[in-house]
């Protein structure tokens, strides 16, 4: 039940309830908060803490009329303030002689009060619902007990002064920050049915009166009303009275905290206790959660007229935070989608998909394949190809290295990585903007044509994108000030960032920006640089350095060679250059396509300048390079799509003239007409584009290798010559037969102006082939594009070749004129 509150004062106008002569018993302990709340607080945010019961000896407990005891949820500011004061009084020990102790106590109370209001109002990320449960008694019952308790923890209700003598928080969430995570229940929907008790305390003067039992019993009833089936509490391993209380209340041991974690957080080691709640039915919770949350939200808004505005816009975009999907269900959806995505992919995009990943992996495992000039000069790391080498090794061991599986398996493996990337885009959006935005961000990610076309290919850029999304989720500088960091968050984000740079050295562009942001907001800058950046960077880069030493057979520092070739000597310009503004006017805008206006709108509406600044930073620095490709800026495309999700979420709800949100609180309600039009527009423009680019455009070079691999299995192919631009088709990784093959070389020449074999052939096909044929051994098959096949047809027929297969390739020009089809010629018996 809820108590009706009297009008509350703003925090700044509250009277100072702390008397000037506060004396805390010398045996009081504050160990429960030692690793969570630091005394020099610089922001008004208090973390959620584990359960703690202050315990010390009393000969006889103080008695009062138990019929006057009330244990109920607290909603009013006065009750929450009184609870915050009791927590500060219980969890901290102050020396009375200390200077400024009263101001410091008040500061701590205000900090806990603001954080408590935020949690109860449903504005704290990671918490579905939080209830503050207070045990209160009339002031008249304990007026002669403690002036300090009565003054600090008093509130007025219905004309009666009451005192908060016990309090706790009931948190419906997957886990508490920096605490052991419960294991029950498991599976999809677990986050709907799990809750934790925290901040449990009883006034020292009234302990041994059963108040702790009463608070726990009330929390069980509230949890059952919420549909909670599993309730947890953390308690210090040396807090015997608290453990005895919980175990009498039905809790049993489940797990304990590792010693190293307790030492790192500078606190006593915790144990995790669990109890099951009988009669809590998750099905009932799913059916009732929307209406109950709506009622609770309205009640809290009415009783808290001045909530924090720190996430006001995000709250408006998240009409039903109770129904956010569990990470497992989101990942299952993303993985299933990406598997279908990978199986539908039938086209050729860029040579690096095959020649810089699969071809190298095939060479490592099967002993044959082609290593391009980059691997001879040491500007590529073996870290990325080794992932697919492991896959090939498993397939070979199981005898599954058939042509079809060899073609499909690498993209299916990449689809798993891509599903992880989709999941972390959802989690990052949920962290920053809430559930509604997260769902629309995921919608944007899955329906964007370029992500569908590119994300399940085996480019190192795709793995870079996945790792970037995962790492961004853990960086403190990108998280809201009110969110609590997961344990080891920054170190984990830094390690993943270092791994990303090891795979793609150009990823350092992204992490330079993020690192500078972290330096601006971090308080421990020296620790960040000397104890985190330096050792983690050395560890990860050292690992790849040793790995490349084993694979290359000599000491090669790949990032340095990569930097020399691509930045210092502009070696990438050999493969073509674009205008400086290409990413802004063509490249990135084409990747976004019709999501572009929604992304721009989301950037302006969300005012999340850190991430929008990252997009501008990456596009700007890559624009300085002459050689430009779509996939180079792929890591920031999901971020732009997240902003698109923000603008779509904003359309879900309309705003009345008084600023309140109109419309149903149920997210399953019908979308507004403009929302339906926007969705139709995005689907109608992106799905056809995705299907055409994935199933039709430039599929001939994939189809021809699939055909030749089947012919090779049947023994009909002895050797192949590719008379086409270099690296225009997959190679041994698709054919999977150790037969002679030859393609036209395009290794960059140190002497500028000298055309390579590929360029010579494209300039004069007949002259080049005539000269080449003077010393050749006739291949059994020749593969070439239709545009070169026409002038060479007579030459091929004169050398006993005939056309055996023709594959459609493209409807329009790409790089080398119109390559409408791919033609296969076979040698006939003379």
Active site residue 62: no
Give yes or no for residue 31 having a pLDDT over 50.
no
Token representation of residue 86: 């009791």
The 10s digit of each residue's pLDDT in 487-534 is 578 899 999 999 999 999 999 999 999 999 999 888 788 888 999 999
Higher pLDDT pick, 141 / 509: 509
- Residues 602-622 as b or e (16 or more Cβ within 10 Å = b): bbeebebeebbebbebbbeeb
- Residues 91-122 as b or e (16 or more Cβ within 10 Å = b): bbebeeeeeebbebbbebbbbbbbbbbbbbbb
Token representation of residue 427: 């989690």
Between CA 815 and CA 824, with CA 820 as vertex, the angle to 5 degrees is 110
Phi, psi of 669, deg, nearest 5:
-65, 165
CA distance 675 to 683: 12
- C-alpha torsion angle, residues 41, 43, 45, 50 (rounded to 10): -20
Q: So what's the pLDDT on residue 51?
A: 53
Q: What is the DSSP-derived secondary structure letter of residue 147?
A: H
The 10s digit of each residue's pLDDT in 449-482 is 999 999 999 999 999 999 999 999 999 888 876 5
Sign of CA dihedral 695, 701, 704, 710: negative
Residue 629 DSSP SS3: coil
**Residue 823: pLDDT band with limits 50, 70, 90:** very high
In this prediction, residues 147-173 reach a mean pLDDT of 87
The least confident of 110-124, 454-468, 603-617 is: 110-124
The 10s digit of each residue's pLDDT in 325-358 is 688 899 999 999 999 999 999 999 999 999 999 9
CA distance 388 to 372: 17
Between CA 110 and CA 520, with CA 261 as vertex, the angle to 5 degrees is 55
pTM of the full predicted structure? 0.65
CA–centroid distance for 334 within its chain: 13
Give yes or no for residue 685 having a pLDDT over 80.
yes
In this prediction, residues 606-613 reach a mean pLDDT of 91
Q: So what's the pLDDT on residue 310?
A: 36
Residue 361 CB coordination number (10 Å) = 24
**Residue 279: pLDDT band with limits 50, 70, 90:** low
DSSP strands (E only) in 491-564 = none
In this prediction, residues 209-215 reach a mean pLDDT of 89
Give yes or no for residue 294 having a pLDDT over 80.
no
Instruction: Share the mean pLDDT of the chain.
Output: 81
**Catalytically annotated residue among 246, 473, 474, 825:** 246
Give yes or no for residue 9 having a pLDDT over 70.
no
């Amino acid at each position: 039940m809820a108590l009706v509150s009297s009008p509350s004062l703003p925090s700044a106008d509250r009277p100072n309830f702390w008397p000037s002569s506060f004396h805390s018993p010398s045996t009081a302990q504050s160990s429960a908060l030692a690793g969570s709340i630091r005394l020099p607080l610089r922001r008004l945010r208090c973390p959620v803490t584990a359960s703690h019961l202050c315990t010390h000896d009393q000969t006889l407990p103080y008695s009062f009329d138990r019929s006057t005891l009330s244990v109920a949820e607290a909603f009013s500011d006065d009750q929450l303030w009184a609870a915050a004061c009791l927590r500060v009084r219980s969890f901290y020990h102050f020396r009375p002689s200390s200077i400024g102790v009263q101001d410091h106590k008040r500061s701590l109370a205000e900090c806990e009060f603001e954080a408590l209001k935020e949690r109860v109002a449903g504005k704290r990320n990671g918490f579905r619902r939080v209830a503050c449960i207070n045990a209160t008694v009339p002031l008249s019952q304990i007026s002669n007990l403690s002036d300090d308790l009565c003054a600090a923890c008093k509130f007025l209700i219905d004309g009666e002064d009451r005192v908060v003598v016990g309090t706790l928080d009931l948190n419906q969430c997957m886990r508490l920050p920096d605490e052991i995570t419960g294991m029950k229940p498991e599976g999809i929907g677990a986050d709907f049915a799990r809750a934790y008790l925290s901040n449990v305390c009883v006034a020292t003067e009234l302990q041994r009166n059963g108040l702790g039992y009463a608070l726990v019993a009330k929390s069980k009833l509230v949890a059952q009303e919420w549909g909670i089936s599993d309730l947890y509490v953390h308690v210090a391993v040396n807090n015997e009275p608290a453990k005895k209380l919980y175990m009498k209340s039905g809790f049993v041991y489940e797990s304990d905290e590792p010693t190293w974690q307790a030492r790192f957080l500078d606190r006593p080691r915790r144990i995790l206790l669990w109890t099951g709640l009988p009669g809590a039915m998750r099905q009932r919770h799913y059916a009732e959660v929307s209406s109950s949350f709506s009622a609770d939200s309205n009640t809290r808004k009415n009783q808290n007229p001045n909530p924090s505005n720190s996430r006001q816009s995000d709250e408006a975009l998240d009409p039903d935070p109770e129904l956010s999907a569990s990470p497992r269900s989101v990942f299952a959806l993303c993985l299933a989608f990406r598997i279908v995505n990978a199986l539908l992919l039938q086209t050729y995009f860029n040579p690096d998909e095959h020649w810089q990943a699969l071809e190298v992996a095939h060479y490592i495992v099967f002993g044959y394949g082609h290593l391009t000039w980059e691997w001879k000069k040491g500007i590529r790391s073996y870290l990325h190809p080794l992932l697919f080498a492991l896959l090939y090794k498993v397939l070979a061991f199981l005898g599954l290295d058939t042509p079809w599986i060899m073609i499909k398996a690498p993209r299916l493996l990449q689809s798993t990585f891509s599903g992880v990337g989709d999941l972390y885009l959802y989690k990052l959006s949920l962290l920053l903007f809430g559930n509604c935005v997260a769902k629309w961000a995921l919608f944007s990610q899955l329906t964007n044509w370029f992500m569908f076309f590119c994300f399940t290919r085996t480019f190192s850029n795709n793995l870079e994108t996945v790792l970037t999304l995962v790492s961004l989720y853990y960086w403190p500088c990108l998280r809201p000030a009110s969110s609590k960091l997961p344990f080891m968050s920054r170190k984990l984000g830094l390690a993943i960032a270092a791994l990303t740079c090891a795979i793609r050295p150009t990823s350092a562009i992204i992490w330079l920006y993020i690192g500078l942001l972290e330096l601006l907001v971090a308080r421990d800058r020296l620790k960040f640089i000397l104890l985190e950046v330096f050792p983690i960077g050395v560890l990860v880069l050292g690992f790849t350095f040793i790995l490349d030493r084993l694979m290359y057979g000599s000491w090669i520092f790949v990032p340095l060679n990569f930097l020399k070739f691509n930045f210092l000597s502009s070696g990438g310009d050999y493969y073509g250059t674009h205008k400086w503004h290409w990413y802004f006017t063509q490249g990135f805008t084409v990747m976004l396509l019709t999501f572009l206006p929604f992304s721009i709108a989301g950037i302006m509406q969300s005012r999340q300048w850190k991430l929008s600044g990252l997009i501008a930073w990456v596009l700007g620095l890559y624009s300085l390079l002459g050689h430009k490709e779509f996939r180079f800026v792929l890591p920031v495309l999901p971020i732009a799509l997240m902003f698109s999700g923000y603008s779509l979420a904003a359309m879900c709800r309309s705003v009345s003239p008084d600023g309140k949100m109109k419309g149903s609180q149920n997210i399953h309600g019908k979308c507004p007409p403009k929302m339906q039009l926007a969705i139709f527009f995005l689907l109608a423009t992106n799905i056809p584009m995705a299907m055409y680019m994935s199933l039709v455009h430039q599929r001939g070079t994939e189809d021809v290798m699939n055909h030749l691999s089947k012919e090779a299995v049947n023994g009909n192919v002895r050797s192949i010559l590719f008379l086409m631009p270099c690296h225009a088709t997959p190679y041994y990784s698709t054919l999977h037969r150790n037969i002679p093959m030859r393609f036209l070389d395009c290794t960059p020449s140190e002497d500028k102006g000298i055309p390579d074999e590929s360029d010579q052939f494209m300039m004069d096909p007949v002259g080049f082939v005539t000269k080449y044929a003077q010393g050749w051994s006739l291949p059994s098959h020749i593969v070439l594009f239709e545009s070169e096949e026409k002038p060479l047809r007579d030459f091929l027929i004169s050398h006993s070749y005939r056309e055996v297969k023709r594959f459609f390739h493209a409807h329009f020009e790409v790089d080398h004129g119109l390559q409408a089809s791919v033609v296969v010629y076979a040698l006939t018996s003379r």
